Structures are given as C-alpha cells and as structure tokens.
Structure 1
Amino acid sequence: GRHISTAQRTISTTSQRHFENKGPEKQKLFQEDNGMPVHLKGRASDALLYRATMALTVGGTGCVIYVLAMAAFPKKQN
C-alpha cells in the first residue's frame, strides 16, 4: 500500500502547484478597476456567452408575450 499513497501524494501536490500559479493572475484580472462588470472580465467567450444569453432571454420574453396575447384575444371564427 505504500506505493499507492506516494503516487497519490505526487498527483495532489502537482495539481495544487498548478492552481496556485494561475490564482494570482486571475485575481489581478478580476480585481482590476477598469469599469467592466465582473461577468465580462474574462475572455471573449464570456462576452459571447453573455450576448447569447441576453438574446435568448429577450427573444424568449417576446415569444411568451406574443403567445399570451394570442391566447387572451382569440380570433372569432364565424
């Protein structure tokens, strides 16, 4: 059992080191006071995801309002 614990220890220490190096860079990026909202401070993919979410939200809201209006005022069939 001694060999397994050594291997696990090696894996956990290397992964910790990997995260420690990236942490301060990310903190600097997100704490920078450049007037940007936090959800757009990341990469371009963040902005793209935000725009897609807003488009879906606005589109979905429009659809719901349209369907509700059609249900509220049904066309009279003669």
Structure 2
Amino acid sequence: MRGTIKKWGNSQGIRLPKNILEDVNLKENDEIEIRVINGMIQIKSIKKYLTLKERLEGYSEDQLKSNEWDLGKKEGQEFW
C-alpha cells in the first residue's frame, strides 16, 4: 500500500486506512508510540487497560449469574 505525507499545520501527517487500523485494533484518539528502528518507522499501540464493565461485556448472562468462579489454588492464609 502506498501513501503520501501531507502538510498538517507546522508538521506533516500520514493518513492510515480504516482497514489497517481495524487490523491492529486501533481507533480515533487511541494513544500510540512512534519509534524509528533501523531507519524504519514503527507505530505501536499503547496498551489500554479495560474497565471492569468492558471486561464483563464478553461474558454471557448465565456466566455472570453463576456462583462458580475459579479463583485458582489457595496461596496462603486465605480461605474460601
């Protein structure tokens, strides 16, 4: 894929096609890290921590209502 560097205020910018952003799970206003490595530009997503609500969206209603949760093995003085 080819692109063009365009003037954007006092800087320059590159437009990234929607399908590329979708492939790397980025969207408008997401934070990224930009580096130059061996003469190549690398754009990397900055890990976004999900809220509890976002984490629970992947669960079904049956899973959320269940009283069974695997908390892993006992590790000290806690009790279940």
Q: Would the TM-score normalized by the shorter structure come out above 0.5?
A: no
Q: Which is richer in helix?
A: 1
Please give the range of the TM-score, normalised by the shorter of the 2 chains.
under 0.3
Q: What TM-score, normalized by structure 1, do the two folds share?
A: 0.23
Q: Which is richer in strand?
A: 2
Structure with larger Rg: 1
